[in-house]
Amino acid sequence: MTQDFATRIIAPGSTIGIMGNGQLGRMAALCAAELGYKVHVFGPGANSPTEQVCAKATIADYTDLEALRAFAADVDVVTFEFENVPHDSVKLLSELVPVRPGWKCLHLSQNRLREKTFCNENGIGTAPFAAVRSLTDLEAAVAKLGRPAVLKTTEMGYDGKGQVKITPDTDLADAWAEMNGAEAILEGFIAFEREISVIVARGVKGDTACFCPVENVHTNHILDVTIAPALISAELSQKAEDIATRLVGAMEFVGLLAVEMFVTSDGAVLVNEVAPRPHNSGHWTIDACITSQFEQFIRAVCGLPLGNPAHHSQARMKNLLGHDIDDWQAILAEPDAKLHLYGKAEAKPGRKMGHITWVLPK
């Protein structure tokens, strides 16, 4: 990236290119419009949640080089709501237009092994882990880390996909077969008290702003409820924000980074994984913060001053999966509930169709 690309301010009236066309892009595009920007979205599949609310859409595979070049020529900056884009495609874009966060940040966060190694190299704790590229590796890793543990693909898995729990009864050959030959990582068991996350923005000049830590409750490996702020001490909150801030600085990151963490019974805060984009656990900020995560995302990507992330209310956010959205009338009848639907055509089991945020007195 040229120095001009690294520091260029993207003025209102410009076009933001968003890779990925799901609900995160949709909510980002709505905030971009409020700040006077147009959005051109790139991704496979017609009538996507983002396409419904943006100025222009390119419907193409992420490896379509001709479509990528045409996309780059039509936008002033590129960012992501979906990070699993081939890094060669991102490198191509970065030669043609400012890309924020940069392709090296995406490459790092696309791979659990690279991500955890980077954290440890920068003095940030994680669960113990080992690389697994064969059944022999898996047997050695289990001997070292013990059971229970979790075997995960290093790339592409999310919401519990691409992972197998290793219990005392698990046959390791069967577990390795489930990886289908993909590179994997074995993560040791952590006895944690709660799962939290911190979303931090970093601007083109290195300025940062953190949203308060929130507590996340998962059901079947999918985020169910976020409680904001997390019910933890001020000391633990500061420790979590310091970790997130240290990470974005070490990555030379520009944009919005979500950092998922475990809090252990002895007060340690360990990084679980990161996401270089807006995050499900930050949806509550739309209704309960001075600046939402989506507005902050647009500000950071465009090189604008970062907004105030302080919350003016407490909040509780719940994902609506599948046919949960059929209760929309009852939800709207609740005076403190804010309903957000994503415009997806078909409700499927486990599919994120929308969310509710209950805004509570601070």
Six token digits for residue 184? 């994997």
What does DSSP say about strands 208-210 and 214-219: parallel, antiparallel, or unpaired?
unpaired
- The answer on 202 and 64 residing in a single domain is no
Report the pLDDT value the prediction gives residue 162, as an integer from 0 to 100: 78
- The answer on 348 and 206 residing in a single domain is yes
224 assigned to some structural domain: yes
267 labelled as ligand-binding? Answer: no
- pLDDT tens-digit series, residues 184-226: 999 999 889 999 999 999 999 999 999 999 999 999 889 999 9
102 labelled as ligand-binding? Answer: no
- The answer on 316 and 215 residing in a single domain is yes
260 labelled as ligand-binding? Answer: no
Indicate whether 183 pLDDT > 80: yes
114 assigned to some structural domain: no
- The answer on 132 and 214 residing in a single domain is no
112 labelled as ligand-binding? Answer: yes
152 labelled as ligand-binding? Answer: yes
252 labelled as ligand-binding? Answer: no
- The answer on 86 and 177 residing in a single domain is no
Question: What's the alpha-carbon Rg for the chain, to the nearest Å?
Answer: 20
Percentage, residues of the chain above pLDDT 90: 90
Question: What is the full DSSP assignment across 138-154?
Answer: HHHHHHHH-SSEEEEES
Report the pLDDT value the prediction gives residue 361, as an integer from 0 to 100: 87
25 labelled as ligand-binding? Answer: no
For residues 270-281, b (16+ Cβ closer than 10 Å) or e, as one string?
bbbbbbbbbbbb
203 assigned to some structural domain: yes
Q: Examine the fold and report which residue of 140, 172, 188 is the final residue of a domain before the chain moves on.
A: 188
Report the pLDDT value the prediction gives residue 159, as an integer from 0 to 100: 56
Q: Residue 181: pLDDT band by 50, 70, 90 thresholds?
A: confident
The number of domains in the chain is 3
158 labelled as ligand-binding? Answer: yes
- The answer on 337 and 303 residing in a single domain is yes
Report the pLDDT value the prediction gives residue 160, as an integer from 0 to 100: 56
Tell me the C-alpha distance between 342 and 248, whole Å. 29
Q: Examine the fold and report which residue of 139, 154, 188 is the final residue of a domain before the chain moves on.
A: 188
- pLDDT tens-digit series, residues 85-119: 988 899 999 999 999 999 889 999 999 999 999 99
157 labelled as ligand-binding? Answer: yes
- The answer on 299 and 223 residing in a single domain is yes
Report the pLDDT value the prediction gives residue 108, as an integer from 0 to 100: 93
- The answer on 305 and 204 residing in a single domain is yes
- The answer on 326 and 249 residing in a single domain is yes
The Cα-based distances of 318 to 63, 152, 259 in angstroms read: 34, 26, 19
Tell me the C-alpha distance between 164 and 329, whole Å. 38
293 labelled as ligand-binding? Answer: no
- The answer on 340 and 209 residing in a single domain is yes
Q: What is the CATH number of the domain that holds 198?
A: 3.30.470.20
Q: What is the CATH number of the domain that holds 29?
A: 3.40.50.20
Indicate whether 16 pLDDT > 90: yes
- The answer on 353 and 254 residing in a single domain is yes
Q: Examine the fold and report which residue of 99, 117, 144 is the final residue of a domain before the chain moves on.
A: 99
Q: Residue 317: pLDDT band by 50, 70, 90 thresholds?
A: very high
108 assigned to some structural domain: no
- pLDDT tens-digit series, residues 146-177: 999 999 999 876 655 678 999 999 999 999 99
Six token digits for residue 270? 């360990």
Host domain of residue 324:
192-360
232 assigned to some structural domain: yes
224 labelled as ligand-binding? Answer: no
> DSSP character for 112?
H
283 assigned to some structural domain: yes
Q: Residue 3: pLDDT band by 50, 70, 90 thresholds?
A: low
By the 10 Å C-beta count (0-12 exposed, 13-18 middle, 19+ buried), 46 is classed as exposed
Report the pLDDT value the prediction gives residue 61, as an integer from 0 to 100: 97
Indicate whether 289 pLDDT > 60: yes
- pLDDT tens-digit series, residues 260-281: 999 999 999 999 999 999 999 9
213 assigned to some structural domain: yes
110 assigned to some structural domain: no
The Cα-based distances of 186 to 82, 105, 193 in angstroms read: 24, 23, 21
Tokens 């830590």 belong to residue: 213
272 labelled as ligand-binding? Answer: yes
Tokens 């884009």 belong to residue: 85
User: To 10 degrees, the CA torsion angle through 224, 230, 231, 233?
Assistant: 150
Report the pLDDT value the prediction gives residue 282, as an integer from 0 to 100: 98
161 labelled as ligand-binding? Answer: yes
Contact by Cβ (8 Å): 285, 311: yes
- The answer on 204 and 242 residing in a single domain is yes
Q: What is the CATH number of the domain that holds 180?
A: 3.30.1490.20
Sign of the C-alpha dihedral computed for residues 55, 209, 259 and 244 taken in this order: positive
